[in-house]
Amino acid sequence: MPKKVTKAIFPVAGMGTRFLPATKSVPKEIMTLVDRPLIQYAIDEARAAGIKEFIFVTSRGKGALEDYFDLAPQLEQELRKKKKTELLKILKSTNMESGAIAYIRQHKALGLGHAVWCARRLIGNEPFAVILPDDVIAADKPCLQQMVEAYAETGGNMVAAMEVEPERASSYGMLDICEENGQLVKVKGMVEKPKAEDAPSNLAVIGRYILSPSVLQHLNQIKTGSGGEIQLTDAIARDIDAKNNVFGFRFSGQRFDCGSKSGFLQATVSFGLSRAELKDDLRAYLRSINLDDDA
Ligand code: UTP
């Protein structure tokens, strides 16, 4: 049986240029979907999957992230005084156990692979999860939990996979598949951001991974790849060559690309409509603007 996955890396050192000027002073991961920052959705998903240690790979200007996970004694005191018990409960649900969070600096934005490598000493010789908070996945059972359950059977390395249109292949790492078995696919290769005609399948890698520590060793040796960055997919692909143990997992759920403006807006509407206290107003508004008129 594979070792239990209890550590997760959250790479949040990217510059978030697609959200400028907002990201000039607000980290992308603090931007809110309805009333919760993206990072809170990621943490809740990790907790549901049994993660106990949360490792953030951050960069300059991300202080608001650290503050977010700090206690807020003054605010709590005020809420208690005013007997706002519901708000107090919400506030407390964001508290993290002392020692459960670690922050590592990525000094230069050299890519996702490099960000993960920066956390190598905290991972040691254990399997670990990677969660990209700007991929938000709405699902009955949280995506990482689905993956951890599948991983208990397979071990090795596992990446979340989703079908995309061929013209979108150039935005993703794409899987080359050799076997399919329900939600699981066995992977024989991975190509980072191929042209539509070069994509080996229509299955794209989405921002959830369970990786073995050998991937960190491959990252030690990798030089920059596609886009001048150190790619995580290149390191995972090396583990296919070495051990043939990489799986794609077709998760159940809807993924929103909250790293893009359009994806963020879609997620906002969808999460808004799923909230009992908001959905009637929001639906009424969407009906009132007669979307067909603007085509
Ligand atoms: P993105 O490709 O979305 O990059 O990174 P970005 O910089 O955040 O956003 P744009 O493209 O400039 O708008 C995917 C994930 O990898 C992390 C990001 O923080 C994000 O969670 N990342 C990326 C790093 O931590 N370090 C890097 O060097 C690059």
> Which ligand 1 atom is at minimum distance from the Cα of 18?
13
Task: Using pLDDT thresholds of 50, 70 and 90, give the confidence band for residue 264.
Answer: very high
Whether the pLDDT of residue 294 is over 90: the answer is no
**pTM here?**
0.94
Please give the distance, rounded to the nearest whole angstrom, from the Cα atom of residue 192 to the centre of ligand 1.
15
pLDDT at 243: 81
Please give the distance, rounded to the nearest whole angstrom, from the Cα atom of residue 5 to the centre of ligand 1.
24
Question: For ligand 1, is residue 57 a contact (CB within 6 Å)?
Answer: yes
> Which ligand 1 atom is at minimum distance from the Cα of 10?
21
Nearest CA to ligand 1 atom 27: 111
pLDDT at 70: 87
Q: Which of 9, 12, 172 for mutating ligand 1's site (highest number of atoms within 8 Å of CB)?
A: 12
Question: For ligand 1, is residue 104 a contact (CB within 6 Å)?
Answer: no
Identify the weakest region by mean pLDDT among 8-22, 178-192, 217-231. Answer: 217-231
If 0-12 CB within 10 Å is exposed, 13-18 middle and 19+ buried, where does residue 165 land? exposed
Is residue 133 reached through a cis peptide bond, with omega within 30 degrees of 0 on the bond before it? no
Task: Using pLDDT thresholds of 50, 70 and 90, give the confidence band for residue 205.
Answer: very high
What percent of the chain is predicted at pLDDT more than 90?
81
Task: Using pLDDT thresholds of 50, 70 and 90, give the confidence band for residue 249.
Answer: very high
Query: CA-to-CA distance for 256 and 233, rounded, in angstroms?
Result: 21
Question: For ligand 1, is residue 100 a contact (CB within 6 Å)?
Answer: no
Question: For ligand 1, is residue 9 a contact (CB within 6 Å)?
Answer: no
The helix (run of H) or strand (run of E) holding residue 44 is helix 38-48
Q: What angle do CA 258, 263, 267 make, to 5 degrees?
A: 80
Whether the pLDDT of residue 215 is over 90: the answer is yes
User: Letter for the amino acid at 212?
Assistant: S
Q: What angle do CA 15, 17, 20 make, to 5 degrees?
A: 120
Encoded tokens for 287: 């009906």
Please give the distance, rounded to the nearest whole angstrom, from the Cα atom of residue 286 to the centre of ligand 1.
32
Q: Which of 23, 30, 112 for mutating ligand 1's site (highest number of atoms within 8 Å of CB)?
A: 112
Task: Using pLDDT thresholds of 50, 70 and 90, give the confidence band for residue 225.
Answer: low
**Cα diameter, the chain:** 63
> Which ligand 1 atom is at minimum distance from the Cα of 109?
28
Domain spans in the chain, listed from the N-terminal domain onward: 7-288
How far from chain centre, in Å, is Cα 80?
34
Please give the distance, rounded to the nearest whole angstrom, from the Cα atom of residue 53 to the centre of ligand 1.
21
Judge: domain 7-288, CATH 3.90.550.10: yes
Count of residues for the chain? Answer: 295
